[in-house]
A and B are shown apart, each in its own frame.
Chain A
Amino acid sequence: EAQVTQNPRYLITVTGKKLTVTCSQNMNHEYMSWYRQDPGLGLRQIYYSMNVEVTDKGDVPEGYKVSRKEKRNFPLILESPSPNQTSLYFCASSSPGPGASYEQYFGPGTRLTVT
């Protein structure tokens, strides 16, 4: 089954304790992206990757790191989490489709709470 998986789905942590949220897709997609979703603010892009070893900042990259060593995986790293990073995080992947369409497939989400 074609899918994007994220782990963990739920995480409660404390300020300053480094954490990694994993993302993996089995559709051989070139493009992967991380978003955070907050009430009243919608989905905002954190980082994206066009292919292996190619990453770039989105709209809200501060406090986050990413890496793309393999095509299928795109982990999100919070080196020193702070309470303002409490949010719902989504990973997504896509590849060019008909008519230049590039439907994004989303993972199930990771709900992170930083206390």
Chain B
Amino acid sequence: GQNIDQPTEMTATEGAIVQINCTYQTSGFNGLFWYQQHAGEAPTFLSYNVLDGLEEKGRFSSFLSRSKGYSYLLLKELQMKDSASYLCAIGAGSYQLTFGKGTKLSVIP
């Protein structure tokens, strides 16, 4: 089975950098995903890591260490619209995803 841990809530200031951590234990691993979910809306895909290292995509970067069972999502130059929940998910088996409970990020002026 899978176990995924991420902080429940975080607060950061507009313009700053925030790092959201995700640790996991899994019996199978096909990759680690990050999704963004605004309140009342559907999750949307942010990033995918299958190999160790950093993947950068604009203001968002995601890091993976498979040996440590650890990932983080880095958000730079925070904007108010980045206030959302960020979901870490593990891919294992045939297209299946197991999601963490999500981290609610509040960006304050």
A94 contacts partner chain B, Cβ-Cβ < 8 Å? yes
Contact flag A43-B99 (CB < 8 Å), given A101-B48, A101-B50:
yes
Q: In the assembly, what is the distance between CA of A107 and CA of B94, in Å?
A: 20
Q: In the assembly, what is the distance between CA of A101 and CA of B95, in Å?
A: 9
Contact A99 B95 (CB under 8 A): no
Contact A109 B94 (CB under 8 A): no
Q: In the assembly, what is the distance between CA of A99 and CA of B96, in Å?
A: 16
Bin chain A's interface residue count.
20 to 34
Binding-face segment, B15-23, B38-46, B65-73: B38-46
B25 contacts partner chain A, Cβ-Cβ < 8 Å? no
CB distance from A1 to the nearest CB of B (A): 15
CB distance from A22 to the nearest CB of B (A): 16
When distances are taken between beta carbons in the complex, the residues of chain B under 8 Å from A96 are 95
Contact B97 A104 (CB under 8 A): yes
Q: List 20 A-B contacts (CB under 8 A).
A: A41-B101, A42-B87, A42-B100, A42-B101, A43-B87, A43-B102, A44-B99, A45-B96, A45-B98, A59-B98, A90-B42, A100-B31, A100-B50, A101-B48, A102-B95, A105-B45, A106-B42, A106-B43, A108-B41, A109-B42
User: 8 shortest A-B CB distances, which residue pairs?
Assistant: A42-B101, A106-B42, A31-B95, A43-B99, A103-B45, A101-B48, A102-B95, A106-B43
